[in-house]
Amino acid sequence: MSIVERYPPGTFSYAELVTTDAAGARAFYTSLFGWEVDEVPMEPGGVYHMFRKGAHVVGAMHQMGPAQQAQGIPTHWGSYVTVESADQAAARAGELGGAVLMAPFDVMDAGRMAVVQDPTGATLCLWEPRGHVGSQVRDEPGSFCWNELGTSDVDRAREFYAGLFGWTPEAQEMGGVAYTTFFNEGGPVAGLYALSGEMEAMPAGWMVHFQVEDCDGSVALARELGAEVPVEPMDVPGVGRWSMLRDPQGAYFSIVTGSADACELPEDVAQSDSVPA
């Protein structure tokens, strides 16, 4: 297992579940991915659940507050992108036509963050690391490996993220579907596609992909644990075996077996030597 010590700016670095039922979600994900959990006190009076693979952080979860539930915010996986300055990135998002949903603030000594919404309606967290790099493990079974935006306005989204992070978009066809891969400093960092068909009515949003050893087996287990399967396991050329799931609390995420170029870190991500899992 290689441990990530640094993410370059413009790279996805963390996945965080915001849920209406932390106890239920904890039981689901620890059973599905074999994660362990550390509980960290969270103001005011809450608990922040750090998901671990062995001794290393792979993501986190916290209970959605009453105010968020009253606003109708659904249970969801949030995606974090590392930036040099949360303040500057948030300001830039506003200049590009996005909205700053949460102004930059310090998360103790872990880092500084902000939450922005792109012009097509998708939300994203900006992370300026200090004591907390983000996910210490990725691109391995039981950790996230890819982030993908589905939106009704691909052109507007492409323009926004290229301007915000300096990503370079490259359009291609994947399984008969138009798909854009964003590159950062030469490496692929994210995907973009147009919501269509049954998904056309869905709001724009970023989806986290987790790597698993056996996609079909994980789907079967997820069903037993109470999940829905909006998209059954399917082969994606050049990627591997993929499926979309909806956890018992309503959060969507995807799983994939296989390690294509699209599910690999940029070369300049700092990692330590391999250590036992």
pLDDT tens digits along 74-124: 899 999 999 999 999 999 999 999 999 999 999 999 999 999 999 999 999
What is the homologous superfamily of the domain 143-263 according to CATH? 2,3-Dihydroxybiphenyl 1,2-Dioxygenase, domain 1 (3.10.180.10)
- Fold category of 8-129 in CATH: 2,3-Dihydroxybiphenyl 1,2-Dioxygenase; domain 1 (3.10.180)
The reported pLDDT for the residue numbered 73 is 85
The reported pLDDT for the residue numbered 225 is 98
Mean pLDDT, residues 165-180 taken together:
88
Between 141 and 238, the higher pLDDT residue: 141
Per DSSP, the residues of the chain read: -PPEEE--TTSEEEEEEEES-HHHHHHHHHHHH--EEEEEEETTTEEEEEEEETTEEEEEEEEPPHHHHHTTPPPEEEEEEE-S-HHHHHHHHHHTT-EEEEEEEEETTTEEEEEEE-TTS-EEEEEEESS--S-S--SSTTEEEEEEEEES-HHHHHHHHHHHH--EEEEEEETTEEEEEEEETTEEEEEEEE--GGGTTSPPEEEEEEE-S-HHHHHHHHHHTT-EEEEEEEEETTTEEEEEEE-TTS-EEEEEES--GGGS--TTSEEPPP---
Give pLDDT tens digits for 200-257.
678 899 999 999 999 999 999 999 999 999 999 999 888 899 999 999 999 999 999 9
Between 275 and 226, the higher pLDDT residue: 226
Instruction: Give start-end residues of each CATH 3.10.180.10 domain in the chain.
Output: 8-129, 143-263
pTM of the model: 0.90
